[in-house]
C-alpha cells in the first residue's frame, strides 16, 4: 500500500526543524534530501537561514556577554517551528514578524540555488 500523499513532505518539514542542538544542520540536510519538493526545500533553506544566523550572532555576542539572548530567541523560534511543522501538512512556514520582510527572501534565494 502506498504512503498517503504529502506524508513524506510533512516528515521532511518536521526534520528540517527538529534538531534542537543545531536546527540549521537539519535544514541543510533537508534542502538536499527534499530538493524535488519546493516546500520541503524552502523549509530547509528557511531553517538554515534563521538558525544559522542566530547561531553565528549568539557565538559572536557571547564574547561580550549577551549571546544568551539570541540563544533564548533561537529556542523560542525552534519551539514555534516544531509546533507549526507537527500541526501542518508540509507547507512553507514563515518566520513570525521578520519573515515576510526579511528572511523569506533569503530562504527563497537559497532554495532556488539548489537543483
Domain residue ranges in the chain? 11-109
Give me the pLDDT at residue 105, please. Answer: 92
The closest of 13, 38, 11 to 93, measured between CA atoms, is 13
**pTM score > 0.75 for this model?**
yes
| Angle, vertex CA 99, rays to CA 69 and CA 107, nearest 5 | 105
Q: Can you give the pLDDT at residue 2?
A: 41
- Cell numbers standing for residue 25: 544542520
- Region of poorest pLDDT, from 16-20, 46-50, 69-73, 77-81: 16-20
> What residues contact 29, with CB distance under 8 A and at least 6 apart?
15, 44
Return d(Cα 42, Cα 64) in angstroms, integer. Answer: 34
Percent of the chain past pLDDT 90, that is, above it, reads 15
Q: Which three cell numbers stand for residue 39?
A: 516546500
Amino acid at each position: 500500500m502506498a504512503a498517503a500523499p504529502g506524508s513524506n513532505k510533512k516528515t521532511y518539514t518536521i526534520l528540517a526543524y527538529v534538531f534542537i542542538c543545531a536546527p540549521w544542520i537539519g535544514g541543510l540536510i533537508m534542502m538536499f534530501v527534499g530538493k524535488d519538493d519546493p516546500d520541503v526545500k524552502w523549509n530547509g533553506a528557511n531553517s538554515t537561514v534563521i538558525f544559522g544566523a542566530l547561531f553565528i550572532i549568539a557565538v559572536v555576542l557571547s564574547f561580550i556577554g549577551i549571546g544568551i539572548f539570541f540563544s533564548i530567541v533561537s529556542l523560542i523560534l525552534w519551539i514555534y517551528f516544531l509546533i507549526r511543522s507537527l500541526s501542518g501538512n508540509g507547507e512553507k512556514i514563515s518566520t513570525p514578524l521578520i519573515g515576510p520582510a526579511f528572511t523569506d527572501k533569503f530562504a527563497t534565494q537559497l532554495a532556488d540555488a539548489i537543483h
